[in-house]
C-alpha cells in the first residue's frame, strides 16, 4: 500500500498484522481522488473508521489543509500515527493541525471551528448499512453551514445507500462483492458542487 498521488506519492503505508483493518485499495483511492480533483486542495477532512489512515493521508498528500482521523482499534491507531509521521516527513510539514482520535466513529462530533469539507467513511462492510443512517443524520446537522461538503462512503457493491437529504453524485467501482465508493452531497445545497469539477 502506498500514497498514490501528490507531494507524498510513493510513500509506503504500514498495515497492522491480522484482520484488524481492511485497507482501501490503491486503485479505488486513486479513482476517488481523480473524481474529487479540485475539491481536495485547501480542504479540511475527517477520516472515519480510518484504519491505516489511507484516505486522509492521501488527501493530505494532495494538498488538503488539515484534518482528523477517527479509529477505535488501538493497534490500527498506532499504525496510523506512524503513517502520518512518514507522510508529514515527506511533505516537510508538522502535525499541529492534524489529530488522531482513538474512539468509535459513531461517537465522533466535528469541532465547530474545524468542520470538514470532505468526510471519508470506510466502516467494516458488515456495519455499513447499520452505521450509515446514524452518520448521515449527524453530518446533516453538523455540516449545515458547509453546503458544499462531500462525503465519500466506501461500501461493497451489493449495498446501495439512499440517505435522506443527500444525493449520490457518483459511484466508483463495480461488482457485487467488490469495494465501491459512493460520493454524496447534501440535497439542500445553495450552490451546486459536482465531484470532479
Residue 188: what pLDDT?
63
Task: Look at the chain and report how many structural domains it folds into.
Answer: 1
- Tell me the CB-side half-sphere exposure of residue 184, using CA atoms within 13 A: 26
**Assigned domain for 136 exists:** yes
The whole-number mean pLDDT for each consecutive block of 10 residues of the chain, a chain of 197 residues, reads: 88 79 75 92 95 95 95 93 95 89 92 88 90 94 90 93 94 84 81 44
Establish if 17 belongs to a structural domain.
no
Span between the terminal Cα atoms of the chain, in Å: 27
User: H or E stretch including 86?
Assistant: helix 74-91
Q: Tell me what pLDDT residue 45 has.
A: 96
Cell of 86: 512518514
Residue 101 falls within a domain, yes or no?
A: yes
Q: What are phi and psi of 110, to 5 degrees?
A: -70, 145
At residue 23, the pLDDT reads: 64
The C-alpha R_g of the chain, in whole angstroms, comes to 15
Give the integer Cα–Cα distance in Å for 100 and 107. 14
C-alpha 40: how far from chain center: 11
Whether 195 maps to a domain, the answer reads no
pTM of the model: 0.90
DSSP result, 35-60: HHGGGSTT-EEEEET-TT-HHHHHHH
Residue 13 domain-assigned (yes or no): no
Three-class SS of residue 141?
A: helix
Binning the chain into helix, strand and coil, the percentages to the nearest 5 are: 30, 20, 45
Which residues constitute the domain of residue 122? 26-186
pLDDT of residue 116: 95
Q: Report the CATH number that the domain containing residue 39 is assigned in CATH.
A: 3.40.50.150
Residues constituting the chain: 197
Supply the pLDDT for residue 18: 66
Residue 1 lies in a domain: no
Residue 163's DSSP bridge partners are: none
* Nearest Cα to Cα of residue 11 among 66, 60, 48, 49: 60
**Domain assignment present for 171:** yes
pLDDT at 25: 74
Structural domain contains residue 59: yes
Amino acid at each position: 500500500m502506498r500514497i498514490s498521488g501528490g507531494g507524498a506519492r510513493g510513500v509506503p503505508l504500514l498495515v497492522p498484522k491480522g484482520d484488524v483493518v481492511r485497507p482501501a485499495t490503491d486503485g479505488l483511492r486513486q479513482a476517488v481522488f481523480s473524481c474529487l480533483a479540485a475539491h481536495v486542495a485547501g480542504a479540511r477532512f475527517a477520516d472515519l473508521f480510518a484504519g491505516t489512515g489511507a484516505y486522509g493521508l492521501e488527501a493530505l498528500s494532495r494538498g488538503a489543509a488539515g484534518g482528523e482521523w477517527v479509529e477505535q482499534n488501538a493497534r490500527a491507531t498506532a499504525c496510523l500515527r506512524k503513517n502520518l509521521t512518514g507522510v508529514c516527513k515527506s511533505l516537510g510539514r508538522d502535525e499541529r493541525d492534524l489529530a488522531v482520535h482513538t474512539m468509535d466513529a459513531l461517537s465522533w462530533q466535528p469541532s465547530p471551528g474545524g468542520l470538514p469539507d470532505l468526510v471519508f467513511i470506510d466502516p467494516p462492510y458488515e456495519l455499513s448499512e447499520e452505521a450509515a443512517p446514524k452518520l448521515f443524520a449527524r453530518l446533516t446537522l453538523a455540516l449545515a453551514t458547509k453546503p458544499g461538503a462531500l462525503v465519500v462512503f466506501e461500501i461493497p457493491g451489493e449495498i446501495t445507500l439512499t440517505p435522506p437529504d443527500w444525493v449520490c453524485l457518483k459511484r466508483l467501482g463495480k461488482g457485487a462483492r467488490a469495494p465501491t465508493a459512493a460520493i454524496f452531497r447534501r440535497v439542500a445545497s445553495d450552490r451546486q458542487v459536482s465531484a470532479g469539477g
